[in-house]
Amino acid sequence: CFGGSPEQSGVPGRTVAYVLWAQSLLCPSIDSSIMALSRLPNIKISPDHDVGRRSLAQKVPFGFPFGGRGTGQLLCLVVLFLVGMFFLVLSFCFSGPGFRSAVVYPGWVSHQGFVHGKYLYWGYRIDCPGKHCETCAGLGHQESSLRCALEEALVLDRIFVLPSRMCINQQHNDRSLLHASSKMRMLESWDTDTCSMESLYDLKSISQKVRVILDSSNEWLLALAKAREMGAVVHVKGINRLELKQNGLYSDAVVINRTASPLAWFVECKDRKNHSSVLLPYSFLPTMAAKPIQMAAAQIRKQLGDYDAIHVRRGDKLKVRKDRFGMNRTLLPHLNRDTQPQAIMQRIANWIPAGRTIYIASNERKPGYFVPLTSKYTVMYSLNFTNILDAVVHNNYQLFMLDRLVLMGAKTFVKTFKEEPSDLSLTDDEKKRIRAWEIPVYTFDDSPDQ
């Protein structure tokens, strides 16, 4: 009934004894009744087996003379079964809060022997269900959402149910970033709109900090079925972590379901600028890349030797729109100017001496864009290592993750945007600006130029 032994299930011993007693009364074996009764409180069975038989036979007169031996036996069994169930109900009623925890609180064992814990489920895809199901954000935004969910699982001490696949935004899946040798290549995109989480991340490494399982795993399917059967699933929306942790209505549940929120997951982590509240830093997921990606990045770093690196974010960040007067406006007014090749050389001159090898990771699609830098530096890109990457990289998300590992191994790393006070950056524009559309600046005298 309880999916395991009484010790495993956490159900009070007297409750199980009553159930076994009632169950044994339906069996012809008196030995089973003796075994059941021996588990009841304050009842001792004589070690003399024959005495035990006679004692039990006197207490359970199977030969009641009502309507013949068979009818009397049946009536007696029914009465004793009802008595056993009565004691079972009493045990449920008076066992106190400890028993409630034993049922709703995890630690139960499934019928196949898998030991389960408490689970946190946010959805079958990052930022979905919700208004983000029709499309998906780039890898950076999805990782912000994933870190937020993992942090909540860490705070609540729960197993996080990870979507088995990652949605790939086609705007960020241009194959030309890896193969820029021809115009035909430039027009190609990777033939996929999703990829498996295991092709991006090493789940075993993540689980050393926050245990994760895939939503396609047998453990999750069994746990969810059992939790529904027990009525131990709670659906939450707009409830902060502190209440989820301290309120027994939520903390005792086997599964906390977060799918009711229509917002992106990272919105739940509104206080990320307060570094004391961030349990998983930005660098956590980049260092959790899948083993094949890590091995490929290690090979590239080895071939590069002693090198520096620059991340040049252009592409999608350069978008402009016209205001009602027909003037161009952008969220990052200096980015286009600051990421021109001549501006880059001027900016990094004091950080990276001439003659050094520089690895450049960029979403710039124009072939030969960074050629001017070769006048002072040896410039390398991911496309210089296609013999390593072709067997590993099958979408741009994998390429971005590999690039990050190579960038992190550089002696000097210059980012596009300053994220920490100590960061070296190509521009002073703030990375995250909302609704602050300004006129682009293309010259260094800061005069607006259309």
Q: Quick one: average pLDDT of 277-287? A: 87
pLDDT recorded at residue 176:
56
Nearest to 364 by CA among 188, 186, 195, 153: 186
Rounded (to 5) percent helix, strand, coil in the chain: 45, 15, 45
What residues contact residue 323 under an 8 Å CB cut-off, 6+ apart? 329, 437
Question: Taking residues 110-127, what's their average pLDDT?
Answer: 73
φ/ψ of 333, rounded to 5, equals -65, -25
Residue 250 has pLDDT above 70, yes or no: yes
The confidence band for 352, taking pLDDT boundaries of 50, 70 and 90, is: very high
CA–CA separation, 321 and 310 (whole Å): 28
Using only the alpha carbons of the chain, give its radius of gyration: 33
Give the SS3 label for residue 3: coil
Contacts of 363 (CB under 8 A, 6+ apart): 172, 174, 177, 312, 313, 314, 315, 316
Contact 334, 429 (CB under 8 A): yes
Output the pLDDT for position 321. 86
pLDDT band at 36 (very low <50, low <70, confident <90, very high): very low
> Which among 189, 190, 186, 187 has a CA at the least distance from the CA of 368?
186
* Nearest-angstrom CA–CA distance, 117 and 159: 7
* pLDDT of residue 287 exceeding 90: yes
320 vs 309, which has greater pLDDT? 309
User: Confidence band (pLDDT; 50, 70, 90) for 297?
Assistant: very high
Judged against a pLDDT cut of 80, whether residue 141 lies above it is answered with: yes
**Average pLDDT for 325-330:** 88
Greatest mean pLDDT among 104-108, 257-261, 401-405, 430-434 lies in 401-405
Q: Categorize the per-residue pLDDT at 146 as very low, low, confident or very high, splitting at 50, 70 and 90.
A: very high
**For a pLDDT cut of 70, what percent of the chain falls above it?**
66
Place of tokens 């399917």: 221
- DSSP secondary structure of 333-397: TTHHHHTSHHHHHHHHTTTS-TT-EEEEEE---STTTTGGGGGTSEEE-GGGGHHHHTTT--SHH
Q: What percent of the chain has pLDDT over 90?
A: 47
Q: Residue 61's pLDDT band (boundaries 50, 70, 90)?
A: very low
Specify the 3-state DSSP secondary structure of 439: coil
Whether 155 and 114 have beta carbons less than 8 Å apart is answered as no
Tell me which DSSP letter residue 109 carries.
B
Asked, as a colleague might, if the bond just before 333 is cis with ω within 30 of 0, I would say no
SS3 assignment, position 53: helix
Q: What is the pLDDT of residue 324?
A: 85
Of the ranges 53-67, 155-169, 428-442, the best mean pLDDT one: 155-169
| Most confident of the following: 184-188, 257-261, 391-395 | 391-395
Q: Categorize the per-residue pLDDT at 273 as very low, low, confident or very high, splitting at 50, 70 and 90.
A: low
Q: Exposure of 314 by Cβ count < 10 A (0-12 exposed, 13-18 middle, 19+ buried)?
A: middle
Query: Given a cut of 60, is residue 33 above it in pLDDT?
Result: no
Answer for the pair 11, 17: CB distance below 8 angstroms, yes or no: no
Mean pLDDT within 255-259: 93
The pLDDT score that the predictor gives to residue 360 is 97
Query: What's the chain's average pLDDT?
Result: 76
- For range 22-49, the mean pLDDT: 39
Split at pLDDT 50, 70, 90, the class of 178 is: low
State yes or no: pLDDT of 135 exceeds 90.
no
pLDDT exceeds cutoff 60 at 158: yes
DSSP code for 279: S
Instruction: State the pLDDT confidence band at 306, using cuts at 50, 70 and 90.
Output: very high
Could you tell me the two tokens for 46?
């004589």
Q: How far apart are CA 209 and CA 222, in angstroms?
A: 24
pLDDT greater than 70 at residue 111: no
